[in-house]
Structure 1
Amino acid sequence: MRTKHRRLPVAVMLLAGLGVQAHAQAQQTDEPPQAEAKDPTKEFVKKINEATGLEFWGYGRGGFYSAGKGRLEGGYSLGGDLQKYRLGNEGDNYLEFGIGKKFDLGNGIHWGVFYMPTIYNGKSGTAQAYFSLGGIFGNTATLWAGQRYRRIQDVHIVDKWVVEDGDNFGAGIDDIPLGGLGRLNVALHTADSVDNKNGNPNNAKRINLQWRDIPTNPDGKLTVTGGLVSGDFAKGRDGGALGLMHIQKNFLVPGLNNTVILQASSGHASLSGKFYNLDSSSTTTGLLLPPGFGVDNMLLFAPLVERTVVTPQAGARQRRILDSVDFQIGRFGGQGLIGYQTTRADNGPEVKDFSLGGRVSYGIARYTKLLAEVATTRRSTDNQPRQTLNKGTIAVAFSPDTNFWTRPEFRIYATRAGWNKAAGDANAASFGANGRRSATTFGVQMEAWWE
């Protein structure tokens, strides 16, 4: 196993060397990578949509992952929302493929149907399945009903949508114009979904409001989000969520963008705008024996009955503050994050999560870039020792250009993760098994998104 692990870093170095050599040759005949402003994948998908009359969008990742015997191929994290730095740390295969069609009814009115199936490590599901109707009000507002989510803001390097709602059956209206003061989304949701038809034993409901893109200053916009959750919970209580997000383009220097997010939630409402930790139920069918009857009479007198068992789940009081930057300046691109989150479960201890890390890319040839990602994370729980986990990854990547955000991206990477004893003890069933304090993984992965 050690011999195999040594070969992969050598391969990474050789590919990097080939990229440098190619860069020296390309400079004589090709434009530099930063001069290519267009995203070739988006341009291609746009042409396909125009040619077919359909709408395609989606995301996928997969590849070859290698780790030592008994070690995880990815997923090294203390468990916080902002703590799984994903480059060389996923170790899975995932695909979501959206397809939709809009039909023009004339007079500016159109309706659409949209569907997005998913496959995660061989298990299929449904992320979205909904209808829309636009043009009724003579503006950009669009009615919709079905199962839909609105993903507003993510932090890509930790694979977390920090502002979103949906994933459940519901209905709403999007993009209500507010006369130069942004736009408004309003939605109502239940806790059921296509994949979880009995996921609502508490009769939970949720309303979401999203006041988006409020102009605040040159190149700056504010988004305000709110949510209310109610239900007949076996444990916990109704809840609410409130969030503020400010995005500043060209922050300090051209090409640098900064996002600040403040969020708070309570009860069974999540910070991002979805349900949090709802009660779950399981239903079984069995024989109900009438009193006084023995086994000999069971088949004759005992009826079949359905039993539903509700497992109570606690709500929580949560707070989050984060600052994220992303940039593309010449051949350099990247994203960085600093975040702090607290979670106090109902009648439980408080968990405090800290995260600091970033990923950078540098174009060394027209289609080749080097990637590096480093991060440190901490988790502190009342009356327990502090957990720490550090992670670093280096990679060579190939893509249609060297912009940080350009996909598809084909990567060859090596990852090293290390943690203290407290983190190992808390995760003894996974990466901390047998007292391990570190791990090294290698892999070849391809990631793509299209819209």
Structure 2
Amino acid sequence: MMSNSPLRLATAAATLLVPLWAFAQRQTLESGGYFRAGPGATKKDASRACYGLSGAGLKYRLGNECDFYGEFLFSTKMKADTVDYAINVMPKLYNGGTDSGSSKLEMQQMFVEGKGFDVAPDVKFWAGKRFYRRADVHIVDTHYIDLSGVGAGASDIRVGPGHLALGWFRNDGGDLANPVLVDDDNDPLTPPVRPGTRHGTRFNVDYADLPVNPGGTLRLLGTFVRSDGDDGAGGRNGLGFSAVHEQARLFGTDLTNQVWLQHARGSAGLNGNFGTPTATSGVRSTRLIDSIVWQQGGFGGQAQVMFQTDRDEAGVKVDSGTVGGRVSYALTRHFKLVSEAGYSQRKADGGATQKLAKFTLAPTLSTGPGFWNRPELRLYVTTAKWNDAANAAAGTGGVTGIGDNATKGTSYGAQVEVWW
């Protein structure tokens, strides 16, 4: 990932896209993606401000996204002998503010996936860098399961009534956030100067689509991590487990309900990915989530309740929790009123409880009346309140980053969100 001036950014984008365009002249090139963008400001005339506590699932996103973000997938499907395969490339563009003047450009996905190999005709095999088997709660922009990375694997392996997926991933290192300095010359008269690196191997076993009751399926995910490096910390192992039950037509209604139970220890992440590479087995996290989504005529929405507990090596515990939801009501086929409310809190042992509540109202134009219809063009007003403990935990800038010690705020703006 790198920062670019507008000219360098345009040059980099052209370098990526022109070969794709040339390739498209010879093959059928499909596109997909996602982006969000739009202007925003605050009641106090700051450029913009967003409101949330640190931690997964604790920030509700409607009228509360201060960034400029886009994913652009280019894919072509081909056939050779009995093998059907797809070539996939996805650049990603990100800017933490309103415009793209200092954006960061990254190759987010680059992989090949194929099916029809004679050794296992019904199994999909892949290798490269990719988004992989992610599961999220949209309103908080959090993938509670996210196996993405650089690796290889196989999926759609029929085992009993469900499907098995196996994935092997590598993290080839990089400086730690707080690296241990390594003394390469072993000279006691010279200080260690090079930040040690830490590499990791991850193996995921994912068994999904297991029918357990009428309309209900179960997903079971195991994560195994081994972290090594030359930073003197020794090897670190990690284990993780997730169980997700999805119930369609809950109580005979249009509600779909998901219950998630997750646990991780050591260097494994709670989302099934890599965690902190130097974490020992004393580092543990547990999370419980209940999320629902519905659409009844023009009335749709999504809501969640989440609780999480984290413990560090010293046994210090941090408890987090949140409850919130978003509802949309279609007044006409293309005009909806959308609102979102959420409350989050977070407390470490011996510390004060951080608290934050937000509410957003957003008149919205859309291509259809459903909750998931996109694109949406929104006007929004967001108001939030939080306490001094939340400001202190966020650092010198406080929750908003403005640094005015305020404990409430109002933002307004416009946003487009689209996926295709």
CA distance in structure 1 between the aligned counterparts of 2:321 and 2:276, rounded to whole angstroms: 21
Give the superposition deviation at 1:69: 4.7
CA distance in structure 1 between the aligned counterparts of 2:392 and 2:113, rounded to whole angstroms: 49
Amino acid at match of 1:400: T
Provide closer, same or farther for how the CA distance between residues 173 and 263 of structure 1 changes in structure 2, counting only shifts above 3 A.
same
> What corresponds to 2:344 in structure 1?
377
Any idea what SS the aligned residue of 2:221 has?
A: strand
Q: Does 1:224 align with 2:220?
A: yes
Give the superposition deviation at 1:252: 1.4
Is contact 1:174-1:186 (8 Å) kept?
yes
CA distance in structure 1 between the aligned counterparts of 2:302 and 2:173, rounded to whole angstroms: 33
Is contact 1:71-1:439 (8 Å) kept?
no
> What corresponds to 2:236 in structure 1?
237
CA distance in structure 1 between the aligned counterparts of 2:135 and 2:349, rounded to whole angstroms: 31
Amino acid at match of 2:146: E
Q: In the alignment, which of 138, 151, 164 is matched to residue 184 of structure 1? A: 164
Q: Does 1:115 align with 2:95?
A: no
Q: Deviations over 1:84-104 (max 9, x none)?
A: 100011111100011111211
Question: Larger RCO: Structure 1 or Structure 2 (Cα < 8 Å, ≥ 6 residues apart)?
Answer: 1
> What corresponds to 1:349 in structure 2?
316
Any idea what SS the aligned residue of 1:266 has?
A: strand
Amino acid at match of 1:377: S
Q: Does 1:360 align with 2:327?
A: yes
CA distance in structure 1 between the aligned counterparts of 2:41 and 2:57, rounded to whole angstroms: 24
Is contact 1:67-1:440 (8 Å) kept?
yes
Amino acid at match of 1:164: D
Q: Deviations over 1:201-255 (max 9, x none)?
A: 2231100111111111111110001110002265583111100001101011331
- Note the aligned Cα RMSD (angstroms): 2.5
Percent identity reads: 36
Is contact 2:236-2:277 (8 Å) kept?
no
Q: Does 1:83 align with 2:58?
A: yes
Give the superposition deviation at 1:274: 0.6
Deviates more, 1:148-157 or 1:242-251: 148-157
Is contact 1:376-1:389 (8 Å) kept?
yes
1:393-404 to structure 2, matched below 5 A, reads: 393-404=360-371
Give the superposition deviation at 1:315: 8.0
> What corresponds to 1:246 in structure 2?
245
Provide closer, same or farther for how the CA distance between residues 314 and 214 of structure 1 changes in structure 2, counting only shifts above 3 A.
closer
Any idea what SS the aligned residue of 2:147 has?
A: strand
Give the superposition deviation at 1:200: 9.6
CA distance in structure 1 between the aligned counterparts of 2:296 and 2:140, rounded to whole angstroms: 22
CA distance in structure 1 between the aligned counterparts of 2:196 and 2:304, rounded to whole angstroms: 35
What TM-score, normalized to structure 2?
A: 0.81
Is contact 1:100-1:115 (8 Å) kept?
yes
Q: Deviations over 1:166-196 (max 9, x none)?
A: 22x21111111224x11111011111399x9
Is contact 2:173-2:200 (8 Å) kept?
no
CA distance in structure 1 between the aligned counterparts of 2:73 and 2:362, rounded to whole angstroms: 29
1:165-184 to structure 2, matched below 5 A, reads: 165-167=147-149, 169-179=150-160, 181-184=161-164
Any idea what SS the aligned residue of 2:89 has?
A: strand
> What corresponds to 2:406 in structure 1?
436
Q: Deviations over 1:423-446 (max 9, x none)?
A: 122224234423210111001000
Provide closer, same or farther for how the CA distance between residues 216 and 114 of structure 1 changes in structure 2, counting only shifts above 3 A.
same
CA distance in structure 2 between the aligned counterparts of 1:86 and 1:321, rounded to whole angstroms: 20
Provide closer, same or farther for how the CA distance between residues 264 and 54 of structure 1 changes in structure 2, counting only shifts above 3 A.
same
Give the superposition deviation at 1:347: 2.5
CA distance in structure 1 between the aligned counterparts of 2:223 and 2:327, rounded to whole angstroms: 35
Q: In the alignment, which of 70, 74, 89 is matched to residue 95 of structure 1? A: 70
Which has the greater radius of gyration?
A: 1
Is contact 2:147-2:273 (8 Å) kept?
yes
CA distance in structure 1 between the aligned counterparts of 2:217 and 2:377, rounded to whole angstroms: 34
Q: Does 1:409 align with 2:383?
A: no
Provide closer, same or farther for how the CA distance between residues 313 and 147 of structure 1 changes in structure 2, counting only shifts above 3 A.
farther
Any idea what SS the aligned residue of 2:228 has?
A: coil
Is contact 2:40-2:47 (8 Å) kept?
no
Q: Deviations over 1:66-90 (max 9, x none)?
A: 1245857344111120111000111
Amino acid at match of 1:120: Y
Amino acid at match of 2:411: T
> What corresponds to 2:132 in structure 1?
150
CA distance in structure 1 between the aligned counterparts of 2:295 and 2:274, rounded to whole angstroms: 35
> What corresponds to 1:67 in structure 2?
42
Provide closer, same or farther for how the CA distance between residues 200 and 264 of structure 1 changes in structure 2, counting only shifts above 3 A.
farther
Q: In the alignment, which of 124, 129, 144 is matched to residue 162 of structure 1? A: 144
Instruction: Count residues with an aligned counterpart.
Output: 363
1:172-321 to structure 2, matched below 5 A, reads: 172-179=153-160, 181-192=161-172, 201-232=197-228, 234=231, 235=233, 237-278=236-277, 316-321=283-288
CA distance in structure 1 between the aligned counterparts of 2:323 and 2:396, rounded to whole angstroms: 25
The unaligned stretches of length 5 or more in structure 1 are 1-48, 280-311
CA distance in structure 1 between the aligned counterparts of 2:375 and 2:124, rounded to whole angstroms: 31
Give the superposition deviation at 1:343: 1.2
Deviates more, 1:342-351 or 1:210-219: 342-351
What TM-score, normalized to structure 1?
A: 0.76
> What corresponds to 1:141 in structure 2?
123
Amino acid at match of 2:309: T
Is contact 1:76-1:431 (8 Å) kept?
no
CA distance in structure 1 between the aligned counterparts of 2:43 and 2:348, rounded to whole angstroms: 30
